[in-house]
Structure 1
Amino acid sequence: MKRAPVSGFRSPLLEWTHGYRRMWIKPDLLAGVSAAAVVLPKAMAYASVAGLPVQVGLYTAFVPMVIYALLGTSRPLSVSTTATIAILSAAALGRVAPAGGAAALLSACATLTLMVGAMLAVAGVLRLGFVANFISDPVLTGFKAGLAVVIVLDQLPKLLGIHFVKGSFVHNVLAIVSGIPHASATTLALGIATAAVLVAIEHFFPRAPAPLFAVAFGIGGVSVLSLQLHGVEIVGYVPTGLPSVSLPDFALVASLAPAAAGIALMSFTETIASGRAFVERGEPVPNASRELLAIGLANVGGALLGSMPAGGGTTQTAVNRMVGARSQLAGLATATVTLGTMLLLAPLIGLMPQATMAAIVIVYSIGLIEPAEFRAIVAVRRTEFIWAVVALVGVVLLGTLPGILAAIVVSLVALAHHTSDPPVRVLRRKPGTNVFRPVSAEHPDDEVFPALLMLRPEGPIFFANAERVKQKIRALIEQYQPSIVALHLRAVSDLEYTALKMLTDAEKELRQRGIELWLVGLNPEVLAMVQRSPLGTTLGRERMFFNLDRVVAAWHARRSSTR
């Protein structure tokens, strides 16, 4: 079946409707309704995590869902909000609206969401989708684990039925411990029972909408047992109807800018990760830059209609796909169910216990902690495990917004570490073959060519590592005392000016010592740079070779002519 191209910013609406099959309608609608049963309880719970009224969660599962379904490139992706976005939003809103007044919070939320959307949309137009790759997997693993700790600590008071003024991590831990004797036994029992229901359903009936059953369990307990009379707090009044227009407060732009940038980065990271994780054979892979634009416009539209920052959610997307979603029509079905909930079920939602929402948030947030992932990281590379732990501790002790900055800094330091010290390997030839491989104790019989030192630097050589590469080459020359140094550059993907100048200086230094520098296996881009430089003129064609076989042949010819 012929499909429209996915490059550029052409409307994906035409793309997914083109070639749409009638047989997909039923699974799309069923998947959308099933996903709604997961999306709505979690969206309301995450709104409460952000300190916002629960109806904001409904608005977030409606407006951004519709806009993304029209513009997004991932077929099964379900868009509302996530635990990560919620806790980052909570930190940002708590700083600019510390009193927690409804009007101030909603205005600040509209401003934050609009800024997140604008940043994402602009990044999409500028095709900056690659930016998400700057957070390494180990750092992201640690960052999410740290968020899980923060979220659980934030929700425990609701689970215990206690209240205190929140502060630092240590302050909150001590306040919870000292508040345990004053906890509401009924509230705690309800929270534990809700968590047990969620875990049991997830374990025995993984396809069932566990959050919906948990919400029904909590509302049923309030309705039948009058749990309010026993100290159980409920959500309270939830307005019925469509969201009203929300106006941002542009006076908050400067103070919210750092938080908006962090939330935008995490929103896109989670969106693209969720979208790519559930691509089936024959489907186009989500286009990163167009995903930026789609999720950005979804946030801009949501900001004007009462939404909090939004992004793609892994759990709800998994439900969407498992039930059989074939296109973005499933997202429109989820939004339709959300609309019906806003118009008809708001009074019922008001009976939901706070402990029920806390239990939902805690159960799904704990899933952000992945012990198996930490074990896998430490088994492969202990240094990267340390980076993951640094990100975790940074979020817990510094706070979520400084924590995300710390995570990005750690990722960039990790990148700098990997690229600043590239290996330079000494090569020898496997006997009887034309295979050249690094010197190894496992291959002591590999051929050595007297006075010829073959070296292979690996990775890009640029200003940050050129001097280090030069030091390694110089040390190997001192060790082997060759008369010819052949640099095999096949594994060097790029060579910028500083690195080229380093090679030029090295050639001059070696020539003064009576040592020749040969270059081997240059890719077209590197070859073009060398030929445009004085080094190319100095070396000429005689000292640049296509492969190591020709180097060895030239070495043999040189030795024969000097006998």
Structure 2
Amino acid sequence: MSEHTTDEHKMKEADITSTPSPGRHSGRFPYVHKVGKPPKQNLLTELSNSFKETFFSDDPLHPFKDQPRSRKFILGLEALFPIISWSKDYSFAKFQGDLIAGLTIASLCIPQDIAYAKLANLPPQNGLYTSFVPPLIYASMGSSRDIAIGPVAVVSLLIGRMLQDVIDPKNEVAYVRLAFTATFFAGITQMILGIFRLGFLIDFISHAAIVGFMGGSAITISLQQLKFLLGIEKFTRKTDIVSVMRSVFNAAHHGWNWQTIAIGLSYLAFLLISKHIGKRNRKFFWVSAIAPLFSVVTSTLLVYVTHAEDHGVQIVKHIKKGINPPSAGEIYFSGEYVSHGFKIGVVAGMVALTEAIAIGRTFAAVKDYQLDGNKEMVALGTMNLVGSLTSCYVATGSFSRSAVNYMAGCQTAVSNIVMSCVVLLTLQLITPLFKYTPLAILASIIISAVVGLVDVSAAKLIWKIDKFDFIACMGAFFGVVFITVEKGLLIAVSLSFAKILLHVTRPRTAILGKLPRTTVYRNIEQYPDATKVPGILIIRVDSAIYFSNSNYIKERILRWLTEEEEQLKGKHLPRINYLIVEMSPVTDIDTSGIHAFEELYRSLQKREIQLALANPGTVVIEKLHSSKFADMIGENMIFLSVADALLTFSPKTTEEV
């Protein structure tokens, strides 16, 4: 190392000073390092830094700094419409991949759109409308290259379930208007979250809760399709498993239609087999992608030729031809339904957002590119806002279509544009041909699409990793299956928050021991070879210390101390003289935390035990000095490490390396 480099290294360590250890002037550890005191920040700077890190951690304004006004305008457009940026490098080779992917997902989305619209109790054309306008908006504003936009099963079920609690689906005009109103507020909710950079709120829903919610929704969606799969005309409006199965068995004697069952089960088997083939060999992904459209076409021809509708087979009957009609005038902006539309929209918007962000992040990680969460929210919100004005209901990213899109070789969001163009041609030319499509086929398509949402392997992994996570997962699952979808979602969110509160209010603490032949101190439960230091108790606190847990931490430390003293007394060993709190995991401490440490210090004084702190972080040490607690215990009782504290309290122990 050069002399210049050595000097620089010394300058970087200038904030750490060293003082001779009391009673120690030779050997391997002649000095104890003092903990550096950081410069005090003013309140405005501290608040500004916290605000920036919370809402602007990606510093979206950085590219605009020191740029002329014209350049800022262009950068602003590129930020709002990423298509302007990536289209500069777009090539014919990329278009080939996007064209194939777009045509493939279009063949999948058309039958799914009709089926999902039925799931939401909406006219089938509204499902197709939702795969025309929203994908075009997203393609220009979204940052994901792989996500495929359109209606999805979970959101469709949620919309249908909540809407029918307010308006009977038989009152089609009012029902559809409320659906547009809910979509409008879903878009507003998503936009607000993106504009005000509140996307971190979605992270409060844990992965385990999402797994349980999706699995429960898949079961509920599949049960709802028994109405069409068995040809039952009178069916319960409730979604819980008990009500659905009671309705199915009550109709067993006279309500089932064998022709419908034969069509539905045979095509369901075909769809599941084709899906299995696509999963086993990625080269044949197109088999599962084309299977739904093939099923719709062949079953429609079968019904048309055999006139099965005259024998009780339920059919679509009519799909309105033409592109999306305007619907701005149909949204409820006043009256009794506004509040209902707002509530349904917020819930559906959050669920749709969670699903889209999860899907986008998954494929972004696979292809190793960055997904801007806040841009995604603005894009999704804008497309649903525009969608509500053009006869669409809530759209989001579809996992099944996104997976097909990825496997088909999509390169950019142009695949969504290709899909949208195919849907446009479908709306303009061939929708009347779907008149004889049996509803049993749509039920089969939905069941085959959602069966993958029941992720048993993920649930098993959650059980192995974290039992409380598994409780949250099962709580969400059973809440959806046995109560309602929205209450299941509420349970999922509640259990996610409960886990956070549990960890915040009851953080872990551990007694540390010295690893043989080292100066390393670790949890004695994790490292059985670690030995306690005679006369000294070392405790690590594994959490920030706030008002919510400060009293518990103080009491837990005192309980550790009491238990240790009783053990020593029973073994006739020397009493404890020093208590060292290892604070490296403590990222922050508030006023209540300082107060709790003051009470701990007084309790220890009565027991004639000296309190010492080891390795407090920058924020913590600054607050310890500001509160004068550092002066209370003495600055020489705050150490850089546990080893330094032991160097002062028990020099012989430190020498045994």
Common fold by TM > 0.5? yes
Query: Structure 2: where are the runs of 5+ without partners?
Result: 1-57, 62-78, 278-283, 566-575
Gap change, CA 1:559 and 1:363, over 3 Å in 2? closer
Gap change, CA 1:556 and 1:120, over 3 Å in 2? same
Structure having the higher Rg:
2
* 1:207 and 2:286 matched: yes
Which shifted more, 211-220 or 374-383?
A: 374-383
Whole-angstrom distance in 2 between the partners of 1:280 and 1:402: 32
Whole-angstrom distance in 1 between the partners of 2:190 and 2:548: 30
Q: What amino acid is aligned across from residue 488 of structure 2 in structure 1?
A: G
Gap change, CA 1:529 and 1:21, over 3 Å in 2? farther
Whole-angstrom distance in 1 between the partners of 2:229 and 2:258: 10
Please list the CA deviations of residues 465-497 of structure 1 after superposition, one character each: whole Å capped at 9, or x if unmatched.
222211210011112342221111111223233
Q: What amino acid is aligned across from residue 212 of structure 1 in structure 2?
A: L
Look up the match of 1:470: 554
Which shifted more, 35-44 or 298-307?
A: 35-44
* Match for residue 266 of structure 2 among 184, 193, 213: 193
Please list the CA deviations of residues 79-114 of structure 1 after superposition, one character each: whole Å capped at 9, or x if unmatched.
112111011101121022125322112101110000
Look up the match of 2:643: 549
* 1:381 and 2:466 matched: yes
How many residues get paired?
Answer: 555
Gap change, CA 1:186 and 1:452, over 3 Å in 2? same
* Match for residue 456 of structure 1 among 540, 543, 546: 540
* Match for residue 156 of structure 1 among 215, 226, 230: 226
Which shifted more, 474-483 or 152-161?
A: 474-483
Whole-angstrom distance in 2 between the partners of 1:7 and 1:324: 31
* 1:480 and 2:550 matched: no
Whole-angstrom distance in 2 between the partners of 1:559 and 1:403: 56
Please list the CA deviations of residues 226-252 of structure 1 after superposition, one character each: whole Å capped at 9, or x if unmatched.
221222111111111111111211232
Gap change, CA 1:282 and 1:149, over 3 Å in 2? closer
SS at match of 1:279: helix
Look up the match of 1:47: 117
SS at match of 1:518: strand
Look up the match of 2:415: 330
* Match for residue 532 of structure 1 among 626, 636, 649: 626
Q: 2:533·2:653 contact (CA, 8 Å) conserved in 1?
A: no
* 1:489 and 2:593 matched: no
Look up the match of 2:178: 108
Which shifted more, 400-409 or 48-57?
A: 400-409
* Match for residue 73 of structure 1 among 143, 148, 153: 143
Whole-angstrom distance in 1 between the partners of 2:365 and 2:560: 50
Alpha-carbon shift at residue 540 of structure 1 (Å): 4.1
Alpha-carbon shift at residue 267 of structure 1 (Å): 0.7
* Match for residue 93 of structure 1 among 148, 154, 163: 163
Look up the match of 1:227: 308
Look up the match of 1:303: 388
Alpha-carbon shift at residue 136 of structure 1 (Å): 1.4
SS at match of 2:234: coil
Whole-angstrom distance in 2 between the partners of 1:518 and 1:258: 53
SS at match of 1:18: helix
* Match for residue 357 of structure 1 among 430, 437, 442: 442
Task: Give the 5 Å matches for 1:269-308.
Answer: 269-279=354-364, 283-308=368-393
* 1:249 and 2:249 matched: no
Alpha-carbon shift at residue 441 of structure 1 (Å): 8.0
Please list the CA deviations of residues 318-357 of structure 1 after superposition, one character each: whole Å capped at 9, or x if unmatched.
1111111111111111111111111111111222111110
Whole-angstrom distance in 2 between the partners of 1:213 and 1:341: 15
Please list the CA deviations of residues 347-376 of structure 1 after superposition, one character each: whole Å capped at 9, or x if unmatched.
112221111101111222222222222222
Q: What amino acid is aligned across from residue 624 of structure 2 in structure 1?
A: V
Percent of aligned pairs with the same amino acid:
27
Alpha-carbon shift at residue 452 of structure 1 (Å): 1.5
Whole-angstrom distance in 2 between the partners of 1:6 and 1:63: 31
Q: 2:646·2:653 contact (CA, 8 Å) conserved in 1?
A: no
Look up the match of 1:184: 257
Gap change, CA 1:139 and 1:374, over 3 Å in 2? same
Alpha-carbon shift at residue 305 of structure 1 (Å): 0.5
SS at match of 1:345: helix
Alpha-carbon shift at residue 397 of structure 1 (Å): 2.7
Look up the match of 1:217: 298
Q: What amino acid is aligned across from residue 461 of structure 2 in structure 1?
A: A
Alpha-carbon shift at residue 165 of structure 1 (Å): 4.6
SS at match of 1:236: coil
SS at match of 2:546: coil
Gap change, CA 1:152 and 1:280, over 3 Å in 2? closer
* Match for residue 172 of structure 1 among 217, 236, 244: 244
Please list the CA deviations of residues 283-324 of structure 1 after superposition, one character each: whole Å capped at 9, or x if unmatched.
532111111111111110111111111111111111111111
Alpha-carbon shift at residue 6 of structure 1 (Å): 9.3
Whole-angstrom distance in 2 between the partners of 1:536 and 1:41: 69
Please list the CA deviations of residues 418-449 of structure 1 after superposition, one character each: whole Å capped at 9, or x if unmatched.
332211111111111122111138624x3432
Look up the match of 1:403: 488
Gap change, CA 1:362 and 1:559, over 3 Å in 2? closer
* Match for residue 107 of structure 2 among 24, 34, 37: 37
Which shifted more, 197-206 or 75-84?
A: 197-206
Whole-angstrom distance in 1 between the partners of 2:168 and 2:620: 56
Which shifted more, 6-15 or 529-538?
A: 6-15
TM-score, structure 1 normalization: 0.94
TM-score, structure 2 normalization: 0.81
Look up the match of 1:146: 216
Q: 2:179·2:341 contact (CA, 8 Å) conserved in 1?
A: no
Whole-angstrom distance in 1 between the partners of 2:59 and 2:549: 37
Q: 2:236·2:243 contact (CA, 8 Å) conserved in 1?
A: yes
Query: Structure 1: where are the runs of 5+ without partners?
Result: none
Q: 1:262·1:404 contact (CA, 8 Å) conserved in 2?
A: no
